[in-house]
Amino acid sequence: MGLLSRKATCNTHGQDSSYFLGWQEYEKNPYNEVNNPNGIIQMGLAENQLCLDLLEPWLMKNPDALGLKRDGISIFKELALFQDYNGFPAFKRALVDFMGEIRGNKVSFDPNHVVLTAGATSANETLMFCLADQGDAFLLPTPYYPGFDRDLRWRTGVEIVPIHCTSSNGFKVTLPAIEQAYRQAQKRKLRVKGVLITNPSNPLGTTMARDELDLLINFIEDRQIHLISDEIYSGTVFTSPSFVSVMEVLKDRNLDQTQVWERVHIVYSLSKDLGLPGFRVGAIYSNDPVVVSAATKMSSFGLVSSQTQYLLSAMLLDKKFTKEYMSENHKRLQKQQKDLVSGLEKAGIRCLDSNAGLFCWVDMRHLLKSNTFEAEMELWQKIVYHVKINISPGSSCHCIEPGWFRVCFANMSESTLKLAIQRLKSFVSSIGMKSQSHQELKSLRRKARNNWVFRHSLQSFYDREQDTTTKVSFSYRPHFMSLSNIAATLDAAA
Amino acid sequence: MLSSKASCNSHGEDSSYFLGWQLYDNNPFHGVVNPTGIIQMGLAENQLSFDLVESWLRKNLDAMGLKKDGESVFREALFQDYHGLPAFKKELVEYMAKIRGNKVTFDPNNLVLAAGATSANETLIFCLVDPGQAILLPTPYYPGFNRDLKWRTGVEIVPVHCWSSNGFRITMSALEDAYQSAQTLNLKVKGVLITNPSNPLGTTMTREERSHLITFAIAKNIHIISDEVFAGTVFDSPGFISIMEAAMDRSLENENPGLWNRIHIVYSLSKDLGLPGFRVGMIYSNNETVVSAATRMSSFGLVSSQTQYLLSNMLANKKFTSKYMKENQKRLKRKKEMLVSGLRTSGMECLKSNAGLFCWVDMRHLLSSNTFEAETKLWKTILCEVGLNMTAGESCHCSEPGWLRVCFANMSQATLQIAMRRLRDFAER
């Protein structure tokens, strides 16, 4: 008999993955402009630190919110005692209004359908406990947030079966991919309870197109399973196309008040939009009263501090402030993303076209020694230890193609971002310069050409698949360097 | 369609414990607005010492305002490290030691923060016990344990029966009997969980009980979880002896490192400081693997950094905490004595207690028969006719009918007096 539980001694927490190892390396040697200018720059942390300066003046102008007062009178006692798992009513009202705003008020939410939890981490796990039993499975499009392995599986015993998405169509979800995943689950004798999507996507930084959402709704309707839409990045959409929530699609299709309506659930949090991860504010939104009821009881295991609920209800009720904040937030995110994208481009590195999130999905396939995950790991280690930048390798996000990396941009100043880009530029040049004979350059070009052809034909394959199935069209996004660009870069380096 | 967890009732919320609360919520007593409403005596909260905390807050606006020396530290809003705010953990372990008369010291590196003791208890069970295995719990116990320890973990609770004949003390034979029952049910016992001071008894564990537990845990090679959330509510002698102190007294670290690594404490600021809304709980363990696993699991219930910041400042003020502890204990004692004498006037005796926010009241003589049905009838009568929400012993899994838990620390003197008067009228009938 083991002394501890299996959960305590296994590694389903997934913290041995490179995603977390990179963080550990950063912790040992963190970059600091003054104290440690040669340290590792953290680009593996999806946090929004760009707008703290907007929150602080609001706090100064609203001392009652932090001071736990209402109209100048202390309500400390009321808050200190408040541990009702139904949540602070004013806070839930303010939260659903805020969620509605983010969705352009094209959907409205009912505060009675909200369950507050200590962060989205808690919300996701709680939803698993409510919707699936041990040994059941959820389908997740890849690449996905590395933390899901822990949040969805560890203590719940639920399995994740990947829906593989590829660069051939910009990593969009396709019907063949979903069906393939479903078949995989059946082969493994796993009962599929639902699909979980992250929209906007982490790590892609893209919003889902309406046709993707339609596809998913059709699928879950057909199989009578659940759909969880993790929309924690919904407030970080900084450019078109605008964000379309799955709730909006359901409404537009007149599916509200039908059975499928009760099987679609949203997860939200204030950690990414408002940049307040430390305050632990997450929420589950569901139209199924049984789910709301069970999840509410389970939220006892992770309630939001009443001190925090009070502060944020005051903040979110200030509609003028939230409007201004979101507008400025989007502006700054867009600028920082543009800086990263253009900086990387100058280093010959392309990013997936993105319109949201706190990161870019970066294509470094051309920097791999071979089209393998070993090569990806080798490249990643070089970038962490020699270039001194922590980024997240695609394999930690379960990406099926080697060579992609998630690079965060919203957790640093402009100058730090510039420095990071500079380091990467030097690194890429050095790879180009390192003992490259003319012959090797030629063979590299040939390989790149072959890869290009391979990827191109793969893309045609998917196009063909599409034609024979639904009349869904996918916008093709150029995601890899053209041959001439590769040649130009290598020439420049030679 | 949904999980079995969502559709079952292992959350235990259909028990009378929660039903009483619901009825109270529908008709709550208020001195002015609703003087005939139900008085809540089923809620173990400490509302006696807020004025002390509030006065500290008034003098320390920076802590509330997320400032340090006038400068904004709002960046703390970013802090989500599951290792917890170091300053806060340092203050917590010092505070915990102070409550234990500084007879033990705690290492902040062995402390894991959680969103309340509810979260801490569940997390510990996830770390120590597999689904289908069991833990032993002395009865009577806190009704919420059925949900906290069993619901999502899939673990079983096997009761260790305690009886009024010896003041509900844990005996060696009761422990052995429980272990045997578990074996008969084919359940592997991984540990015993005690609440010390006890909820609902309001008593601290005796030396003899501690000795039994340790001997038993050594013999069966199991864990001891000591839920010490009421440690700061000990207002009378005998004082409080933490399981950690007992372990140190027996030099377990050297004599039996195996058991030393199987002793874990759960604590919270909800009962002592009266701050349940802030969700501050913690696990303390000498076992590195447990600390590591529990730390990772705490991701599912971290403490708001806003709260960590505020409370690390409050606890750092040692003058304040000393004054608070002393005054709090005085007020608890006074209230408890008021309740005990009020009950006595109505012909009801309480178990002799020295801690907690409640009394364990003997109403066996009021039962129409020595059954739990009669107890439920009595409880309902007191709730609906007398207008007092108390906690029936059955919902605490007491093995004998006729005992009720009555809380006293969540109301003013005036309200308590009204409650006693109502009870007197009822008894006279």
- Rounded CA gap, A176 and A463, in Å? 11
Percentage of chain A with pLDDT > 90? Answer: 70
Q: Which range is least confidently modeled, A7-16, A44-53, A235-244, A276-285?
A: A7-16
- List CB contacts of A56: < 8 A, sequence separation 6 or more: B72, B74
Alpha helices (H) in B250-304, listed in sequence order: 252-255, 257-260, 288-297
A385 belongs to the catalytic site: no
Give the pairing of strands A226-230 and A282-286: unpaired
Q: Nearest Cα to A200, choosing from A359, A332, A349?
A: A359
The residue among A280, A279, A286 whose CA lies nearest residue A110 is A286
Q: Provide the residue ranges of all domains of chain A, joining segments of one domain with +.
A: 6-52+323-430, 69-318
Task: Say if residue A483's pLDDT is above 80.
Answer: no
Q: CB distance from B99 to chain A under 8 Å? A: no
CB B261 within 8 A of CB B242: no
Q: Which of B115, B120, B261 is CA-nearest to residue A308? A: B115
8 Å CB contact of B290 and A271: no
Instruction: Write down the pLDDT at residue B22.
Output: 87
Rounded distance, CA B274 to CA A438, Å?
Answer: 75
φ, ψ of residue B288 to 5 degrees: the values are -55, -40
* Class level of CATH domain A69-318: alpha beta
DSSP result, A398-442: T-SSTTEEEEE-TTS-HHHHHHHHHHHHHHHHHHHHTT--HHHHH
What is the fold, at CATH topology level, of the domain defined by B65-316? Answer: Aspartate Aminotransferase; domain 2 (3.40.640)
Active site residue A230: yes
How many whole angstroms separate alpha carbon B419 and alpha carbon B383?
A: 11
Number of H helices, E strands in chain B: 17, 15
Of B75, B126, B304, the CB nearest to A280: B304
pLDDT at residue A172, rounded to an integer:
97
Reported as a single tens digit per residue, the pLDDT across B112-131 is: 999 999 999 999 999 999 99
pLDDT of residue A66: 84
Give the confidence band of B424 by pLDDT, cuts at 50, 70, 90. very high
- Among the listed residues A136, A230, A288, A363, the single catalytic one is A230
Asked whether residue A158 carries a pLDDT value surpassing 90, the answer given is: yes
Query: For residue B223, which of B101, B97, B133 has the smallest C-alpha distance?
Result: B133
- Rounded to a whole number of angstroms, the distance from the CA of A261 to the nearest CA of chain B is 14
Pick among 3.40.630.10, 3.10.105.10, 3.10.310.30, 3.90.1150.10: CATH of A6-52+323-430: 3.90.1150.10
Q: State the DSSP code for B7.
A: H
pTM equals 0.88
Specify the 3-state DSSP secondary structure of B194: strand
**How would you classify the pairing of strands B388-389 and B358-362?**
unpaired
Structure tokens at A175: 């019907």
pLDDT of residue A277: 81
Mean pLDDT of B368-389: 95
B6 with A7: Cβ contact below 8 A: no
Burial pattern B207-245, b for ≥16 Cβ within 10 A else e, equals: eebbebbbebbbebebbbbbbbbbbbbbbbeeebbbbbe
Of residues B61, B278, B301, nearest to A118 (C-beta): B301
CA gap B210, B171 in Å, rounded: 10
- Cβ–Cβ contact A134 with B under 8 A: yes
Judge whether residue A439 has pLDDT over 70: no
DSSP B362: E
Identify the weakest region by mean pLDDT among A85-89, B57-61, B216-220, B300-304.
B57-61
Q: How confident is the model at residue A448 (pLDDT cuts 50, 70, 90)?
A: low
Residues in A closer than 8 angstroms to B290, CB to CB, are 4, 8
Q: What pLDDT score was predicted for residue A438?
A: 44
On whether any CB of chain A is under 8 Å from the CB of B278, the answer is: yes
Q: Other C-beta atoms within 10 Å of A429: how many? A: 15
How would residue A126 be classed by pLDDT, with cut points 50, 70 and 90?
Answer: very high
With beta carbons less than 8 A apart as the criterion, state whether B266 and B124 touch: yes
Pairwise CB contact (< 8 Å): B276 & A66 = no
- pLDDT in the model for residue B13: 67
Q: Has A144 been annotated as catalytic?
A: no
- pLDDT band of residue A125 (cuts 50, 70, 90) is very high
Res B9: pLDDT: 67
Least confident window among A154-168, A337-351, B19-33: B19-33
pLDDT digits (tens, 9 = 90+) for A57-115: 898 888 888 888 888 888 888 888 888 898 899 999 999 999 999 999 999 999 999 99
Distances (CA, A) of B73 to A49, A55, A56, B67, B78: 14, 12, 9, 5, 10
* Contact state of A301 with B130 under an 8 Å Cβ cutoff: no
A44 closest CA partner among A424, A406, A420, A337 = A406
CB B119 within 8 A of CB B267: no
Cβ-defined contact of A59 to B74 (cutoff 8 Å): yes
Put simply, the answer to whether B54 touches A76 (Cβ < 8 Å) is yes
Tokens 């029936």 label which residue? B392
Q: How many other CB atoms are there within 10 angstroms of residue B294's CB atom?
A: 27
A322: phi then psi, degrees, rounded to nearest 5? -65, -35
CA A290 to chain centre: 28
Which of the pair, A9 or B221, is modelled with greater confidence? B221
Counts for chain A of helices (H) and strands (E), in that order: 18, 15
Structure tokens at B413: 């003197």
Is the separation of the CB atoms in B101 and B354 below 8 Å? no
Q: Which of A67, A80, A122 sits opposite B65 (nearest CB)?
A: A67
Question: How many beta-carbon pairs under 8 angstroms link A with B?
Answer: 215
Question: CA-CA distance, A330 to A333, in Å (whole number)?
Answer: 5
For residue A157, count other CB atoms closer than 10 A to its CB. 18
Say if CB B162 and CB B399 are below 8 A apart: yes
Above 70 in pLDDT, residue A470? no
Under a CB-based contact definition with an 8 Å cutoff, are residues B142 and B165 in contact?
no
CA distance A286 to B6: 14
Q: What is the mean pLDDT of residues A33-55?
A: 92
Share of chain B above pLDDT 70, in %: 98
pLDDT per position as a tens digit, B227-236: 999 999 999 9
Distance of alpha carbon A31 from alpha carbon A415, whole angstroms? 12
Q: What is the pLDDT of residue A449?
A: 52
Per-residue three-class SS string for A219-263: HHHHHCCEEEEECCCHHHCCCCCCCCCHHHHHHHCCCCCCCHHHH
Mean pLDDT for chain A overall:
87
Confidence bin at A457 (pLDDT 50/70/90) = very low
Do residues A13 and B296 touch, judged by C-beta distance below 8 A?
A: yes
Strand boundaries in B46-155, DSSP class E: 67-68, 71-72, 111-114, 134-138
pLDDT at A333 over 50: yes
Angle at A322 between CA A320 and CA A324, to 5 degrees: 70
DSSP-based three-state secondary structure for A148? helix
Task: Please state the domain extents for chain B.
Answer: 4-51+329-428, 65-316
- B196-210 pLDDT, tens digit per residue, is 999 999 999 999 999
3-class secondary structure, A272:
coil
Per-residue pLDDT tens for A363-409?
999 999 999 999 999 999 999 999 999 999 999 999 999 999 999 99
Q: Give the full edge-to-edge strand order of the sheet including B281-285.
A: B111-114, B281-285, B263-268, B223-227, B189-195, B134-138, B156-160
Nearest-angstrom CA–CA distance, A371 and A362: 16
- Rounded to the nearest 10 degrees, the angle between the axes of helix A373-385 and helix A18-28 is 10
| pLDDT band with cut points at 50, 70 and 90 for residue B10 | low
Looking at residue B54, its pLDDT comes to 87
Contact in structure between A123 and B301 (CB atoms under 8 Å): no
Buried (b) or exposed (e) across A313-347, using 16+ Cβ within 10 A?
A: bbbbbbeebbeebbeebbebbeebbeebbebbeeb
Q: Give B137-171 pLDDT, tens digit per residue.
A: 999 999 999 999 999 999 999 999 999 999 999 99
% of chain B with per-residue pLDDT over 90: 80
Residues of A in contact with B262 (CB under 8 A): 3
Read off the tokens for A99: 């969620």
The confidence score (pLDDT) of residue A474 equals 28
Q: The CATH number of B4-51+329-428 is which of 1.10.287.3510, 3.20.20.10, 3.40.50.2300, 3.90.1150.10?
A: 3.90.1150.10
Task: Give CA–CA dist A458/A445, Å, rounded.
Answer: 20
Mean residue pLDDT of chain B comes to 93
| Alpha-helix residue ranges (DSSP H) falling in A103-171 | 119-131, 148-153
- By the 8 A CB rule, do A367 and A428 touch? yes
Rounded average pLDDT over A172-177 = 97
Q: Give residue A445's pLDDT.
A: 56
β-strands B263-268, B281-285 pairing: antiparallel
Q: Contact, A428 vs A488, CB < 8 A? A: no
ipTM of the complex: 0.89
Question: Which amino acid is it at A120?
Answer: A
Asked if residue B386 lies in contact with residue B342, where contact means CB atoms within 8 angstroms, the answer is no
Worst-scoring range by mean pLDDT, A64-68, A422-426, B27-31?
A64-68
E strands, B308-357, where?
349-350
From the list B279, B289, B301, the residue facing A9 with the nearest CB is B289
Whether residues A76 and B53 touch (CB distance < 8 A) is answered with yes
